[in-house]
Amino acid sequence: MSRQSIELSGISKSFGPTQVLKEIDLSVREGEFLSLVGMSGCGKSTLLRIIAGLELPDDGVVEIGGENVTSRDPADRNLAMVFQSYALYPHMTVRQNIATPLRMRMLPLAARLPLLGRLLAPRETLSQIDAAVEQAADTLQITHLLDRKPAQLSGGQRQRVALARALVRQPAAFLMDEPLSNLDAKLRAHMRDELAALHRRLGATFIYVTHDQVEAMTMSDRIALMIEGRIEQLGTPDDLYRTPATLSVARFIGSPTINLLPAEVTADRQVTVAGMETGLHAEEGPATLGIRAEDFHLASTGMPARLLRAETHGADRFLTCQLMAGDGSVVVLRQSASDRPSADADGKLHLRFAADRVHLFGADGRRRPVYVGGKVAA
Amino acid sequence: MTLTATFEASARPPARSVPRGLVFVLPAVLLLLAIYIVPIIVLAGFSITDYRLGAMNWDFVGARNFTAAFADPVFIRALANTALYAAIVIPAGVFIALGIALLVYGRKSSRAFWETAYFLPVTATLVAMATVWQFLLHPSLGPVNTAITWAGFDPVSFLGNPALLIPTMALIGVWQVLGFNMVLFLAGLTAIPRDLHEAARIDGAKSPIDRFLTVTWPMLGPTTMFVVVTTSISAFKVFETVAVLTKGRSGSETLLYALYLEGFEYSNTGYAAALTLIFLAIVLILSIGQTLRMDRKVHY
Report ipTM (2 d.p.): 0.83
Query: Among residues A374, A334, A376, which one has the least CA distance to residue A359?
Result: A376
Q: Region A241-270: what's the mean pLDDT?
A: 90
* Nearest CB partner across the interface for A104, out of B193, B203, B215: B203
B142 band by pLDDT with thresholds 50, 70 and 90 = confident
Structural domains of chain A, with CATH? 6-242 (3.40.50.300), 256-376 (no CATH)
User: Hey, how many other C-beta atoms are within 10 angstroms of the C-beta on B191?
Assistant: 11
Are B270 and B52 in contact, with CB atoms under 8 Å apart?
A: yes
Q: Please answer yes or no on whether B300 and A150 come within 8 Å at the CB atom.
A: yes
**Residues whose CB falls within 8 Å of the CB of residue B245, separated by 6 or more in sequence, listed in order:** B130, B133, B134, B159, B165, B168, B169
Which residues of chain A have a CB within 8 Å of the CB of B213?
Answer: 112-114
Query: Among residues A342, A303, A291, which one has the least CA distance to residue A319?
Result: A342
* Nearest CB partner across the interface for B205, out of A75, A84, A150: A75
Does the CA dihedral A23-A24-A25-A30 come out positive or negative? negative
Which residues of chain A have a CB within 8 Å of the CB of B218?
Answer: 89-92
B14 band by pLDDT with thresholds 50, 70 and 90 = low
Strand partners, A175: A81, A207
Residue B47 C-alpha, separation from nearest chain A C-alpha, in angstroms:
46
State the DSSP code for B13: P
B193 band by pLDDT with thresholds 50, 70 and 90 = very high
A21 band by pLDDT with thresholds 50, 70 and 90 = very high
Which residue in A has a C-alpha nearest to residue B211's C-alpha?
A: A104
Portion of chain A with pLDDT greater than 90, in percent: 45
- A105 to chain B, any CB pair closer than 8 A? The answer is yes
pLDDT score of A377 more than 60: no
Which residue in A has a C-alpha nearest to residue B297's C-alpha?
A: A91
B11 band by pLDDT with thresholds 50, 70 and 90 = low
**C-alpha angle A170-A173-A178 in degrees, rounded to nearest 5:** 120
The pLDDT value recorded for residue A209 is 95
Residue A151 C-alpha, separation from nearest chain B C-alpha, in angstroms:
7
Length of chain B: 300
Which residues of chain A have a CB within 8 Å of the CB of B203?
Answer: 75, 100-101, 104, 165
Query: Among residues B244, B258, B241, B275, which one has the least CA distance to residue B77?
Result: B258
The pLDDT value recorded for residue B165 is 86
Do the bridges between strand A230-235 and strand A222-227 make them parallel or antiparallel, or are there none, so unpaired?
antiparallel
Residue B162 C-alpha, separation from nearest chain A C-alpha, in angstroms:
39
Which residues of chain A have a CB within 8 Å of the CB of B196?
Answer: 87, 89
Q: Please answer yes or no on whether A109 and B198 come within 8 Å at the CB atom.
A: no
pLDDT score of A246 more than 90: yes
Q: Please answer yes or no on whether B196 and A87 come within 8 Å at the CB atom.
A: yes
Structural domains of chain B, with CATH? 73-298 (1.10.3720.10)
The pLDDT value recorded for residue A6 is 92
Q: Region A272-278: what's the mean pLDDT?
A: 81
* Nearest CB partner across the interface for B210, out of A54, A81, A104: A104
